[in-house]
Structure 1
Amino acid sequence: MRFSSFLVSFAFFVCTILTATNCWAQLTSPQIGWQTQLSTLAHGVSGMVTILDEDSIQVDNFTYDGGGISVFFYLGMDDTQSSFIAGIPIGPQLKGTTFDGTQSPLVYDLPLGNTLEGLNAISVWCVAATASFGSGSFAAAPGLSADFDEDGDVDGHDFLIWQRGAASGATLSDWQSQYGDVLPNLTAVPEPSGVLIAAMMLLLWISYCRQ
């Protein structure tokens, strides 16, 4: 009986922590789902870049002829040369590899300890020449006007924001018509916290049955 009580208390504690952590992560990642279309400045660069979470991006339909010297994706505060000079590289060296836009989406993570907070632009950046081969500034993708928390989908969290009056100019019909929609190019991945919560609920049920 004591073990069952402990199990119930522990499961409740874990569920509470995981739920709070998940909410905090969403609040600290407002750019999730934001996109930019790379401009074509040199070497045939083009493509669509999407922010997947607070420290990773996805590049779709990327084209680049492999030219230049020491070429990387670089993130900066804005779409300017000075910003990219002081920016952060993401992903491997691009020079020497040809991309024709037919390859699978490219997914890159920031170096450990970095996040996309404050990094609003991306460039295919030639370090040696301090020049951009193509760049763009991230912005909320069109089509999900009811994605009030800007996390890439329309769900119950967005309804709560609307209900609290924090969604300026939006109507309930906007949320209703878009409920369940997800931004294109984003792959839905089950939240680990959701899996763990389900496991905790199973333990609660087992504990109840054993009483």
Structure 2
Amino acid sequence: MFYLFIITRIRSRPLGVVLALAIAAVVADNAHAQHADVLVQTLGNRLATGSADFDSGSWTLGRRVYSSEFGSNWSVNNPGFNALAATSPSMPAGASRLPGNTSLAWDFMPMKIDGVLQNAFYWDGAGSTAAAVDFGALPGPDYEIALYGRNAPVAVDGAASLVAGDVIDVTSSSGALHSHRYLYLDSGNQNAAGPPVDGIYLLSLRMKMNGYDPSQPIYMVLGTPGSTLAALQAAESWVTAWADELAPDFDADFNGDWVVDGSDFLVWQRNFGATNARLVLGDADRDGTVGAGDLAAWREEFGLSIDSFAGAVNGTLPTPAVSVVPEPSGAVLALLGISALARCVRMRLH
């Protein structure tokens, strides 16, 4: 199938450079995998992701890792993004439709591998097993990977930061959505100096929509034309195994500053007893109520931050381990006003 598309590239540089690039290319579905889009629905008050598999006709929740290959023009528009209408018979059990006429957007997430925080990683693809996977810095200082949103492209360059994305698309009145956005791999100045280095590139996104908690991080594992299927599969398997640790997803970061600390405790305290609640009100366990279970989650995660979360380890697969989380000190707890909390609880019980 032929696609002729014109991209207006807006680079996020201090002065801003606006370039027009016309590309005519043959774009095919990923030859190494089924055509499975990113399914986005709601579970309670949070966005949830899964697989919209058009080959098998299966729509399921739980999937968070997706792989694809750049074409010879260094762009790819798979996987797409899909949401089912309210009346769809394919709606996964427990899931609900997205609200109608509402923007679905994304953020690029930072990831941590071997203690290094970056929003994009690269592996040369020299291997075919998890033990060979070795993600590191992008091949050059000018490398970027851009996702073209509804309004503008947004790129990541391997920096140690979250990057706010753009809009994927707007849902229909019934909550349905089906959109394919292009990813573009750039070694600098639209690859004018030469093609990108072959290998496997890794991105992380989280889906977001007004009125809902963002999704868990999802991952895009992207191979170049000169990379191998074995390397792509090895990288996808490795990322899948590390999906819960690779990018930050703190349950008790109620104020969204990527640090679990006393400020989050105060959010929980002020909203204790609230119903139909979201993470921003202190609902860490996402049961719709701010209660004791959410305080337990805060205590477990106290002290976590972008800098301190463990991340993933190259060449290995995670093994179950009992982590020791330091308890907040007595001074910290006093500062947070535990006595005031106790009085609040007693008042609600009486």
Using structure 2 for the length normalisation, give the TM-score. 0.24
Structure with the bigger RCO (C-alpha within 8 Å, sep 6+) is: 1
Higher helix share: 1
